[in-house]
Amino acid sequence: MSFTTQMDAARKGIVTPQMQTVAAKEKVPMEDLMDRMARGSVIIPANKNHASLQGEGVGEGLRIKVNVNLGISKDCQDMEAELDKVRTALSMHIEAIMDLSCYGKTAPFRKRLVDMSPVMIGTVPVYDAVGFCDKNLRDITVDDWFRVVEQHVVDGVDFLTIHAGLNRATAEKIKKQQRITNIVSRGGALLFSWMELNDAENPFFQHYDRLLDLCEQHDVTLSLGDGCRPGCLHDATDASQVQELISLGELTKRAWERNVQVMIEGPGHMAMNEIPGNMMLEKRLCFGAPFYVLGPLVTDVAPGYDHITAAIGGAIAAQHGADFLCYVTPAEHLRLPSLDDLKEGIMATRIAAHAADIGRGIPGARAWDDAMAKARADLDWETMFQLAMDDKRAREYRKSSMPEHQDSCSMCGKMCAVRNMNRILAGKDIQLDD
């Protein structure tokens, strides 16, 4: 029996290699995984042209996944430097990479990325349009927009961020309401500007079936972008954000009718108390589709530390329904991330994701922490390092300040609570003065 997409296969009862990989990784029964995929609450982005892909699942009952953004731009065109970031990100166990390249040799970079990456790859084709078409924004045609999308699909991209919900009706709300930051989504701003310059409807909203044709043909997942995501706390959960979310829900159902997998992108900047409600709203309005969030950043006043503000928001969001976290680095709002920024952003986001996995009761999540607790109780430093999320940093910290007694650390020395409890419970004496 043949199938067109992973969703189509699940609905027909066909087990794909990607499903087998995901079921094994997640320790989920195959019938449960296929049921969730058939309903759209779980996706496995897997372009038929991405030969090196191993497959990851995103959604209901699965581990929270982490995405890394990178790519070449006009001010930073060093392809090899970005590929170094790719290799580093892969070594740090992320599950997805979004190529946000917008200038220069975007196609060669994208092809190398797809060829070398076993994790899912996403792009935002509208970023690439001006350079791809060699035209001013005003002069790009509907056919031009779709030529760019088709090229990305053919190149093997697993998911596409498309801001199809930012239509003329939503655009009018943006113009009428008093937002502080207006539109901060780069793709959303480009499409909004094109619509205004040409007095036209969003081409991806108006010609949505044409987009679905490409996705169905190559089994590409739609990541329906939030062009109206809030760029500051003040703008969160306003009319334009909710209006776009309603549109995205309608577009989700249309995609599912064509067996095209969908996830929804979300905020953005948002106060902590608004996060649970936003997660519930997305799940309700978008019929349980997986939710992919940037942050949310829970305060606007910590430039240089936004990997922390985003990790706080990401942990809360994932605990309340988000399924996929986009990393945020210390360089957010300031510059293109360096390799060190990338590492800091990945670790902060992985911590948030794992904390949420524990809270959500994901199989195996708590066992990792229990193993670490046992190693600490035994003062088994080597096992602690092996279990650490970042074993290199843990080893470096320990080595930088070695204690007099190897069964303690330089903070407590012979007053170490764990050391002393172990000795007392073993019937041994404690000497603190020598």
Residues 6+ apart with CB under 8 A from 372: 384, 387, 388
50 annotated to a ligand binding site: no
pTM beyond cutoff 0.85 = yes
226 annotated to a ligand binding site: yes
pLDDT higher than 60, residue 13: yes
Residue 430: its pLDDT value, please? 81
376 annotated to a ligand binding site: no
Structure tokens at 261: 């997998």
> Is the Cβ–Cβ distance between 232 and 300 less than 8 Å?
yes
127 annotated to a ligand binding site: yes
Helix, strand, coil abundance in the chain, percent, nearest 5? 50, 10, 40
Residue 74: its pLDDT value, please? 83
pLDDT higher than 70, residue 10: yes
Task: Calculate mean pLDDT across residues 357-370.
Answer: 96
Task: Calculate mean pLDDT across residues 389-418.
Answer: 84
pLDDT digits 0-9 by tens, 257-284: 999 999 999 999 999 999 999 999 999 9
pLDDT higher than 70, residue 433: no
Mean pLDDT over the full length of the chain:
95
Query: Residue 434's pLDDT band (boundaries 50, 70, 90)?
Result: low
Nearest to 133 by CA among 154, 110, 106: 106
Task: Calculate mean pLDDT across residues 58-80.
Answer: 93
Q: Which amino acid is at 356?
A: A
The continuous run of DSSP H or E covering 116 comes out as helix 106-116
292 annotated to a ligand binding site: yes
Nearest to 127 by CA among 98, 154, 97: 98
Residue 415: its pLDDT value, please? 82
Structure tokens at 347: 């670790």
> Is the Cβ–Cβ distance between 110 and 122 less than 8 Å?
no
412 annotated to a ligand binding site: yes
Q: Which amino acid is at 134?
A: D
Cα separations in angstroms, 288 against 249, 323, 375: 10, 11, 39
Residue 328: its pLDDT value, please? 98
Give the long-range contacts of residues 24-30, CB within 8 A, separation 24 or more.
Answer: 25/56, 25/57, 26/57, 26/61, 26/62, 26/63, 26/363, 27/363, 27/364, 28/57, 28/61, 28/62, 28/363
409 annotated to a ligand binding site: yes
Query: Residue 142's pLDDT band (boundaries 50, 70, 90)?
Result: very high
Please state the domain extents for the chain. 6-360, 364-400, 402-434
Phi and psi of 325, rounded to 5°? Answer: -110, 130
The proportion of the chain whose per-residue pLDDT surpasses 90, expressed as a percent, equals 86
Task: Calculate mean pLDDT across residues 335-353.
Answer: 97
- CA gap 151, 208 in Å, rounded: 17
98 annotated to a ligand binding site: yes
Residue 414: its pLDDT value, please? 78
Max CA-CA distance within the chain? 84
416 annotated to a ligand binding site: yes
Structure tokens at 432: 């603190």
More confident residue, 407 or 38: 38
Cα separations in angstroms, 302 against 48, 129, 332: 42, 33, 10
pLDDT higher than 80, residue 409: no
Phi and psi of 67, rounded to 5°? Answer: -110, 145
163 annotated to a ligand binding site: yes
Angle at 309 between CA 265 and CA 328, to 5 degrees: 50
- CA gap 252, 318 in Å, rounded: 21
185 annotated to a ligand binding site: yes
DSSP string of 361-392, one letter each residue: T-TTHHHHHHHHHHHHHTT-HHHHHHHSTTHH
229 annotated to a ligand binding site: yes
Task: Calculate mean pLDDT across residues 143-151.
Answer: 97
For the domain covering 6-360, report its CATH number.
3.20.20.540
